[in-house]
Structure 1
């Protein structure tokens, strides 16, 4: 076959333009063999993280991608983005003008993979379980606005919210709202190990070496009823510790596709020197990277220190040296491709300015150089992360205003340590739970946020965030989100660095690749199949 590089220029959800497409036939795979997907995402069970695949515990892209293909949610974001549509439900809607009461009716004949019927009581159990367990590592904060949950018979469930929330349908599309079987999930205890089951499109089996999952095997669930159209019967997700080894496996045909995380060098090579039989697909990305701060830590407690870092860091230089065409500078928590974005950090700090940073520190009575350790994870966001932090270190130290040390740790220890507040400054990435500006604000700044940050701004939490959620027309909340972004730029509880693009490489006999990873980095395995596309 001819060499080819496929570039998909589109944006999802609240982006413009929106991808258009309709579901394909439920025809299954053209071949009996499994489609094999490679990834460098690691799923590990440790002493501090014994339940890596429990929806009440886990909150990262790697594990959510496994759960999403196994555990069914009431809603899902359709192919091409846009407003959520029913998945396990046959119908969902707000029943009041204030967006405070949300009613769903389950599909008829819905079953878990073991054949047990799925009822409204199971949906109630699943979400109440998440909120009651309230694990600090998890995403229970997405559901804490629920006041009460009522059921009416086996098929109807009603969520009564504490305050209006137009984003609630999106939250019901996430794995934290997945439907669990009370026979296999305890109401008040996490499910340890690597077992997952639900009523989703696939059943799941893990191959494990020690405490590390090496392969995830997804097989079509014969009991599945929902809105998704499966294009294959079996997919295997194989884990690699090195992106270059993963690339060689693709070249040799040992895997059919590789996703997160290809290196900048691999992508550049495939763009400039396409390989026979390999397709490179660019997919719109909503990923952001940022520095987080423990604002209670003595070294960064003074706002002037964080603001001085904002003056010194050169995002353009960082992107050019480390990521090239894979990224672009970001001056807000909300990416430039999401409606309501404003360049609040650029508006306040402009181009890098050492003199202004020095004056700011002097006026605050802070001695220089300010000594800090910046922590990052070595194995969660790709091999380029180490170079990124060396570049940031050089920028800050070259100013003479900072004395920076960088320290890398594996994700299995990095994330628990970050949650416990062990790091004054740390690097993190974020793919949204759903493509709405709220999901770039609340997870960092609202009560029960996933960073577990001590930063608590009452204006943000008690006024602006609730106000933004009242608007069903999200563009009507633009002014509110602008105020939020300006406060973040002033207080710098987090410091946005860049937003990225996504690339997927695949054998060119694999179809559906452009739909199999969406802008939120969700892995939608049901879209993949061999041969030409069946979708219409």
Structure 2
């Protein structure tokens, strides 16, 4: 080889090596997805929407978790045992479970996090979810010291949880975002700022590196996650836009790999464009309207019942939302084992007859033609589907003689307004089961539930039934108590169910490992991208 050829070969080799290095760097796998709304917080105990659930699924891991098909599987706890009486769970933690800063995840982390969730000063929105744990309610209401809570570290790798009474769904309850662990040192160092990008220490498959409100969030693979070797997507960029039309365009243009929610009336168009990339999967959920029972006219049960009766749910489901959702006349949807939902007493009455009965009830209450005027405002979060629903219901209520206006706000502001106990007339809301038990839906009607009882329903008989259900160990008797409570809630119409809320997703063919599931959990660690 001549000197010139040697120099040329060396130069080409250097270029090749440089090109190979560049190729390796560019091989990072990035998942781009539309979230459907802005998260209120990345602090697990202050998250309340499924939008936030999707984020928490990636950043944190609890004792148990959901796999890619929506099945409850071991999380930080690799195994557990249950005492013969069903009251004591003993969890063995993974020895290689670590925080994103490299520190081990210990049983003490869970003790701290459970106590923090139940601390009255923290006002965790989902604190009541932990009430099945011994003394949880007493701790949360300031009637017992935190160290009396039935959560105990036996040693660094062993956690013991004692319950008030046996509940078969406890492992599923532990998947909830409010009971994942947080890093004590991190919380104590930064206070409420601990959940911000650049400061947050997480124990899930990803860690957040950037959050630009209204624009995007960026997560990167957590190298210290115990299962990091099986995590195939390196980076997630999540866009919280509520503009469904814009999200659809970006998906069709190939800019997004996943998108949560799309305009229901565009379903056929989207299926013609991308076929089975359109996913509409059943879920255990309720789309509903709540009435503010604290003020006229909805402090009168006759008015609430009249407005509930006048809504044509079949029209909403089939015409307004193009079959993406199904009409719902029970507060609790079908699908929960051992439970038969109660239905509103007008469910089987023809729509025209219901409207006539509604007018009679309003007349009895002193409203309608010749009576007091009805000026109603419907609140809903910014979303084309909910706008269409609100418009259709406003037209139905105008048939009762009501003057109806509408007010929308972004998802974050909408729920913050409701959860702070502010006044309204009628509001849109939705509920997705946190675990497969009717109690999870009915607890929204308990008078002491200051966060999710938006209409401030207060019925001592209902509260007594719910309290009784917590101590009844016979499954059939307990389900009957809950059925009676549901019937009472529907009779009093503080809320009126509208639709079964199916989960609409757009999923690119590039994404593998996606499984539609009732739980609507789709952790990125289970996905790959071609």
Classify the TM-score, shorter chain: 0.7 to 0.9
Q: What's the counterpart of residue 493 of structure 2?
A: 492
Secondary structure of 1:236 counterpart: strand
2:75 aligned partner = 87
Cα RMSD of the aligned pairs, angstroms, is 2.9
State the Cα deviation string for residues 69-91 of structure 1 (Å, max 9, x = none): 11110112344345x33211122
Give the counterpart of 1:158 among 152, 160, 169.
Answer: 160
Partner of 2:128, secondary structure, is helix
- Per-residue CA deviation, residues 242-279 of structure 1 (Å, 9 max, x unaligned), is 22222222222222222x221113322122x2348x72
Distance 1:60 1:415, change over 3 A: same
User: Matches of 1:189 and 1:372 in 2, distance apart?
Assistant: 44
Q: Relative to 1, partners in 2 of residues 1:156 and 1:96: Cα closer, same or farther, differing over 3 Å?
A: same
- Segment of structure 1 superposing worse, 150-159 or 225-234: 225-234
**Most deviating of 490-499 and 215-224:** 215-224
- Which position in structure 2 is the counterpart of 1:73? 62
Report the TM-score, using the length of structure 2 for normalisation: 0.82
3-state SS in 2 of match to 1:218: strand
- 2:355 aligns with 354
Question: In 2 relative to 1, CA 261–281 (structure 1 residues): closer, same or farther, beyond 3 Å?
Answer: closer
Q: CA deviation at 1:342?
A: 2.4
- Label 1:101 to 1:443 Cα distance change in 2 as closer, same or farther (>3 A): farther
Asked if the contact 2:280–2:324 (Cα under 8 Å) also holds between the matched residues in 1, the reply is no
**Partner SS, residue 91 of structure 1:** strand
Residue 43 of structure 1 pairs with residue 46 of structure 2 = no
Q: Which residue of 2 aligns with 1:130?
A: 117
SS state at 1:183 partner: helix
Match of 1:530 in 2: 529
C-alpha contact 2:37 2:411 (8 A) present in aligned 1: no
1:339-488 equivalences under 5 Å are 339=337, 340-346=339-345, 350-352=349-351, 353-365=354-366, 368=371, 371-379=374-382, 382-400=383-401, 402-419=402-419, 420-445=421-446, 447-448=448-449, 450-453=451-454, 454-464=456-466, 466-467=468-469, 470=472, 477-488=478-489
Compare CA radii of gyration and give the structure with the larger one. 2
- Counterpart contact for 1:257–1:505, Cα < 8 Å: yes
Report if aligned partners of 2:444, 2:453 keep a CA contact under 8 Å in 1: no
Residue 334 of structure 2 aligns with which residue? 336
Give the 3-state SS of the residue equivalent to 1:514 in structure 2. coil
Return 5+ residue gaps in structure 2 as ranges. Answer: 1-25, 136-148
Contact 1:293 1:424 in 2 (8 A): yes
* In 2, Cα distance between equivalents of 1:243 and 1:194: 27
User: CA, structure 1 residues 255+365, in 2 after alignment: closer, same or farther (shift >3 Å)?
Assistant: closer
Query: Structure 1 residues 503, 236: closer, same or farther in 2, change over 3 A?
Result: same
Counterpart-to-counterpart distance in 1, 2:360 and 2:101: 66
Provide the residue aligned with 1:19 in structure 2. none
Provide the C-alpha distance between the structure 2 equivalents of 1:463 and 1:218, rounded to a whole number of angstroms.
44
**2:220 equivalent in structure 1:** 219
Select 1:54's aligned residue among 28, 33, 43: 43
Residues 315, 329 of structure 1: 8 Å contact kept: yes
Q: Equivalents in 2 of 1:446, 1:165: separation in Å?
A: 23
Deviations 1:218-259 (A, max 9, x none): 22222212699534333322233422222222222222222x
Distance in 2 between the 1:469 and 1:243 partners? 45
Q: 1:459 to 1:155 in 2, by over 3 A?
A: farther
Distance across 2 between alignment mates of 1:469 and 1:268: 49
Give 1:188 shift: 11
Structure 1 residue 63, shift from structure 2 partner:
1.6
Whether the aligned pair in 2 keeps the contact of 1:288 and 1:498 (CA below 8 Å) is yes
Q: Deviations over 1:380-404 (max 9, x none)?
A: xx3121121111111011133x333
CA contact (8 A) 1:219 1:234 kept: yes
Q: Distance in 2 between matches of 1:286 and 1:471?
A: 24
Q: Quick one: distance in 2 between partners of 1:466 and 1:185?
A: 37
Q: Which has the higher helix share?
A: 2
Shift of 1:135: 4.9
Q: Does the aligned pair in 1 maintain the 2:284–2:334 contact within 8 Å? A: no
